[in-house]
A and B are shown apart, each in its own frame.
Chain A
Amino acid sequence: AIRMTQSPSSFSASTGDRVTITCRASQGISSYLAWYQQKPGKAPKLLIYAASTLQSGVPSRFSGSGSGTDFTLTISCLQSEDFATYYCQQYYSYPRTFGGGTKVEIK
């Protein structure tokens, strides 16, 4: 199985900050990578697919980049509603695998 490693596992930030989360795959996955946002008690929400394509309805302050093994999720100007846990997932091969998550907390 492809291992997905996210960093950092958690951090604190302030509203208005630019934040970047990294996801690394244990082998190349082309651009078959998705990012999800999860808030407590809720299902994950798809933010980005194909590494950099914004899902319909997702604010443009979210962006994704990367291909192969290294990927990033950037939030250009953190809003209060963005404090959540973020997961990457590869859908290049089976089994599908997720990163361990990055929790973004309020500073």
Chain B
Amino acid sequence: QVQLQESGPGLVKPSETLSLTCTVSGGSVSSGSYYWSWIRQPPGKGLEWIGYIYYSGSTNYNPSLKSRVTISVDTSKNQFSLKLSSVTAADTAVYYCAREHATAVAGTDYWGQGTLVTVSS
């Protein structure tokens, strides 16, 4: 059974960089069958796709966040990470890591439980 678990600070100051890590168990980030994604959800609002990374290191980011986002992968630790720079209160959200099928057949089938990140001084 694949499991994903987000970790990182729950409070980030405005203008600083938000950093989260997703640890994958029961599966491998080195698999060529999946994209490893980040998705966020502001409190009481809908879902926003942030971007993904492939095991090769190739990435795809949401243009609305592209200038501030970096997603990286560490295959030795079976982890992938999100960095979002110059955060503001608008970046306060529950951040989910998730797995999407790279064949574009089956959608996003596994999600982490989510971690709330609050941007506040």
A residues lining the B interface (CB < 8 Å):
1, 32, 34, 36, 42-46, 49-50, 53, 55, 87, 89, 91-92, 94-101
Contact = CB atoms under 8 A, between A and B. Distances in A.
B62 to A, nearest CB: 4
A46 B106 CA distance: 9
Contacts of A87: 46-47
Contacts, number: 62
Query: Secondary structure at chain A's binding surface: helix, strand, loop or mixed?
Result: loop
B49 A97 contact: yes
A98 B108 contact: no
Contact of B48 (A45, A94, A98): A98
Interface residues on B, range: 20 to 34
6 contacts: A36-B108, A43-B96, A43-B111, A44-B47, A89-B47, A100-B46
A94 B106 contact: no
Contacts of B112: 43
A101 to B, nearest CB: 5
Given A43-B112, A91-B100, A95-B63, A49 B106 contact: yes
A1 B108 contact: no
B90 interface: no
Given A95-B64, A97-B49, A100-B46, A43 B114 contact: yes
Nearest to B64: A95
A101 B46 CA distance: 7
B38 to A, nearest CB: 11
A1 B63 contact: yes
A39 to B, nearest CB: 12
A47 to B, nearest CB: 9
Contacts of A1: 63
Contacts of A92: 104
B26 interface: no
A55 B96 contact: no
